[in-house]
Structure 1
Amino acid sequence: MPSLDQQFQQACDAGDLPGVVLLASDKAGKFKYEKAFGLKSPGEKIDINATFILASCTKLMTTIAAMQCVERGEIRLDDDVSTILTELKGIQILTGFNEETNEPLLTIAKNKITLRHLLTHTSGLGYFGMNPLLSRFFSTLPPTRTANTPLLHRITSPLLFEPGTSWEYGTGLDWAGVLVMRLTGTSLEAYMQSHIWDPLGIKNITFHQELKPEVRQRLVTMTKRGAKKKVWSKPSTSGEKVEWTNDILYEDPCAHEYGGGGAIGSATDFLKILTSLCASSTSVLLKPATIDEMFTPQLAPSGQRALTLYNAALAETKTFTSRKSSTKLNFGLGGLLVLSDDETGLKAGTMTWSGLPNLLWTIDRGSGVSAFYAGNVLPFGDFKSHEMQQLFEREVYGLAAAVGVAVGSGSKL
């Protein structure tokens, strides 16, 4: 059977993938895997220092920033954030529409939104491009949501349920980013540079490509599978080869800093963040107790049911990021928690999440292994990317075990 490297090279040579960077390491420094396959742009080979649109991988960094604010006593996880995010005072819940007039039906939320809600997607905030109710709501409004629309206007929407009563992927981390900026009196860029990137020696992550020319120079060219597919389309089912595209996900230069998805950076630098959290006791980012809280299941049964249904819908078609439907899941502060051992070798207690162009990170504290699959394909959910990411995940545990990493040591929960 072809090796891991051979299978990725074959996939790239065949046009099934463009370019991909695969990274993994253990917290003790015994094991490191760093490989790049395929192309960065037409005719140009990719290398491990390539930079990517990190998209929702940004959420982990914003969570770290927010938890640092908690550690300093600037806010508590269960505080009402509307005292700082005053735009959320009196927020309404969208319950449906009057079918005769198409007017939205709205009611004032009774529960207050907390920082914990923002970090765990239990606030009731959603993404208008992903939720049909919100899509319909915004279709009734004047078309003012453009690239130049202010950040707060673009992330402001009614809720989909009472805060704390369910789970819906949405703009909570964008609001958490605004919260960090207001608490600290600085931009997310400046804050993360001082409190996350500099402590780990990270030079090639930013919200503003114009500030770091090397990030711009090394940025991969976007690709898509399916010529007619839009950024927010469902993944192609036709098995087309990938093709280079001029689709732009971020403005450059960029005036806004979205805590939920605005960063650009190198996979190698992002892995430093994963490894630091994995090595909880020696992390320079957060106290061990804070990291333990991040990896503690946060969802009540109602939220866990909603999350499980979300994953099951993806798992049915083997969509990128999905876990098999029997997997026990919850959500931590920063990402999805996998609460049962996975067939790939990933252990119960692992935290993971993804980014729009089919990137995915994992932190498995039970085995001490962190990994990052940095892909570059639109739309999100790409089936071939899922197949190859799962292959990478399986092989990583075998490679780590071969150098003496105890990958079967179990959950840290």
Structure 2
Amino acid sequence: MNASSATAAPPLGAHIERLDDVLAATVASQDAPFVVAAVADTGGLRWSGTAGQDGTGEDVRLDAVFRIYSQTKAIGATALLILVDRGLVSLDTPVAQLLPDFAGVHLLDSIGLSGPVLRAPRTECTVRHLLTHTSGLAYEGLDARMTAYRGATGDPVTGILSLQTLLSYPFVFEPGSAFAYGVGVDWVGQLVERLDGRRIDRFCAEEIFDPLGMTDTVFEPSDRPGRIPAVRQRTPSGGFRVVDVAPPEHPAIYGLGTCLYGTALDYLRFLRMVLGGGELDGRRILSDAAVELLRTDQMPAGLSVSPITSDDHSWSCDIHPFPEVRKTWTAGFLRVEADVPGMRSAGTLSWGGILNTHYWVDPANNVAAVFMTQALPFVEPRFMDRYAQFERAVYRDLVADGEEDER
């Protein structure tokens, strides 16, 4: 696939049918209640499709607005990198130097009979640590140390938490010494507000969403009423039940880890900016140097992404994509360091949100794609098998076509 083939894409014929078949089979087998998916390159949209119903008895729309949760994180990283481009901060800036409140974050040394034992960390936490999930700020439910801490403080895990709670977490290891997926990018949102002066919702609208034409990406669901599908959760019988899960509305402060709503096509515009080296439709968001930070491993030397173990498989299964491949974290994305046969290439960037909104962006093959629903648990194996089937179909039917066109 290349940009020239996208502007005058060849007729896809049976290829569209095959991709549509993956979506239809996903819903028919109850591997997801519905799916919205799309594929693009630097030249534009190559394919899109939907299957299933949105929970109101209506067929899901291509412009359905999703609770994208951790898909917010790459946008949060982009907000920070805009300020890196402006010389206001670097990835190696100590966070407490800019946010005095951060100096009060302590490290969980142990949990004794009287409760948690905290101490000051010996290592300064930097912006790089926050962005690459090497700060030691971990999510409860996805890290046994944080789950134990929450229990020891008499505040057991109750699902989606407020940002104020997330920002009260201690480190579970010395910054820069290990990987643990967590709340670092929420602190990044506070950094952006402190350095720029604008509230984070205004900053993102003016610096990212408006320039990229992401007209349906918002902080509040009331801004896009009637287009937000219901969330379903797997039941013991294998079906789904509707559950009430959403980021808190009108919080006192917004983080940049989980707070956004948006459409599949909006997120593809963001991914096309990454494919395009920081630019989309003539609007430049990031410099070449900043895009390099988004595309390349930024973890402290010797570290890589380790498996993430879930405490509650009704919310999230264990997270260990492509276990045979070494994975790192860039300033904004999970990155695979080797080719996955029949699928993504080395250097592909990806991640997703807790309600099973998933994406990847493959610069080597000039392809980006989204595969999105609103269902729990996260990364349920049967759903991920369909996502992998979709990805293989994209490379077989679209990427291979682009390579044939070039020849």
Q: TM bucket by the smaller chain?
A: 0.7 to 0.9
Give 1:345 shift. 2.0
- Residue in 2 that maps onto 1:72: 86
Task: State the alpha-carbon separation in 1 of the partners of residues 109 and 85 from structure 2.
Answer: 37
Letter in 2 for 1:202: M
Task: Select 1:224's aligned residue among 225, 233, 238.
Answer: 233
Task: State the alpha-carbon separation in 1 of the partners of residues 127 and 99 from structure 2.
Answer: 11
Q: Do the aligned partners of residues 407 and 289 (structure 1) sit closer, same or farther apart at CA in structure 2, a change above 3 Å counting?
A: farther
Task: State the alpha-carbon separation in 1 of the partners of residues 74 and 285 from structure 2.
Answer: 12
Letter in 1 for 2:361: I
Give 1:38 shift. 0.7
Preserved contact between residue 23 and residue 50 of structure 2 (Cα < 8 Å): no
- Residue in 2 that maps onto 1:135: 147
Preserved contact between residue 145 and residue 154 of structure 1 (Cα < 8 Å): no
- Residue in 2 that maps onto 1:233: none
Q: Is 1:195 aligned to 2:193, yes or no?
A: no
Give runs of aligned pairs for residues 47-66 of structure 1, distance below 5 A: 47-66=61-80
Task: State the alpha-carbon separation in 1 of the partners of residues 318 and 35 from structure 2.
Answer: 15
- Residue in 2 that maps onto 1:15: 30
Q: Do the aligned partners of residues 203 and 247 (structure 1) sit closer, same or farther apart at CA in structure 2, a change above 3 Å counting?
A: same
Task: Return 318-327 or 396-405, whichever deviates more.
Answer: 318-327
Task: Return 55-64 or 367-376, whichever deviates more.
Answer: 367-376
Q: Is 1:250 aligned to 2:262, yes or no?
A: no
- Residue in 1 that maps onto 2:333: 335
Question: When the two structures are aligned, how many residues end up with a matched partner?
Answer: 384
Task: State the alpha-carbon separation in 1 of the partners of residues 207 and 178 from structure 2.
Answer: 32
Give 1:108 shift. 1.4
SS in 2 for 1:348: coil
Percentage of matched positions with identical amino acids: 27
Letter in 2 for 1:13: A
Q: Do the aligned partners of residues 359 and 377 (structure 1) sit closer, same or farther apart at CA in structure 2, a change above 3 Å counting?
A: same
Task: Return 193-202 or 133-142, whichever deviates more.
Answer: 133-142
Task: State the alpha-carbon separation in 1 of the partners of residues 183 and 274 from structure 2.
Answer: 24
Preserved contact between residue 57 and residue 355 of structure 1 (Cα < 8 Å): yes
Give 1:255 shift. 4.4
- Residue in 2 that maps onto 1:163: 175
Gap runs ≥5 in structure 2? 1-13
Q: Do the aligned partners of residues 295 and 11 (structure 1) sit closer, same or farther apart at CA in structure 2, a change above 3 Å counting?
A: closer
Tell me the alpha carbon deviations over residues 324-344 of structure 1, each in whole angstroms, 9 at most, x when there is no partner: 321121111111111111124
Task: Return 134-143 or 189-198, whichever deviates more.
Answer: 134-143
Q: Is 1:286 aligned to 2:295, yes or no?
A: no
Task: State the alpha-carbon separation in 1 of the partners of residues 358 and 89 from structure 2.
Answer: 30
Q: Is 1:295 aligned to 2:289, yes or no?
A: no
- How large is the RMSD of aligned CA atoms in angstroms? 2.8
Task: Return 268-277 or 370-379, whichever deviates more.
Answer: 370-379
- Residue in 2 that maps onto 1:411: none
- Residue in 2 that maps onto 1:261: 258
Q: Do the aligned partners of residues 117 and 406 (structure 1) sit closer, same or farther apart at CA in structure 2, a change above 3 Å counting?
A: farther
Task: Select 1:273's aligned residue among 270, 295, 312.
Answer: 270
- Residue in 2 that maps onto 1:399: 397
Tell me the alpha carbon deviations over residues 272-307 of structure 1, each in whole angstroms, 9 at most, x when there is no partner: 000111111644221122101221112245531xx2
Give 1:84 shift. 2.1
Letter in 1 for 2:260: A
Give 1:256 shift. 3.9
Tell me the TM-score normalized by structure 1: 0.85
Preserved contact between residue 359 and residue 371 of structure 2 (Cα < 8 Å): yes
Give 1:259 shift. 0.6
Letter in 2 for 1:53: R
Preserved contact between residue 4 and residue 395 of structure 1 (Cα < 8 Å): yes
Task: State the alpha-carbon separation in 1 of the partners of residues 345 and 132 from structure 2.
Answer: 21
Preserved contact between residue 329 and residue 336 of structure 1 (Cα < 8 Å): yes
- Residue in 2 that maps onto 1:89: 103
Task: Select 1:104's aligned residue among 107, 116, 128.
Answer: 116
Preserved contact between residue 207 and residue 254 of structure 1 (Cα < 8 Å): no
Q: Is 1:348 aligned to 2:360, yes or no?
A: no
- Residue in 2 that maps onto 1:116: 128
Task: State the alpha-carbon separation in 1 of the partners of residues 321 and 404 from structure 2.
Answer: 23
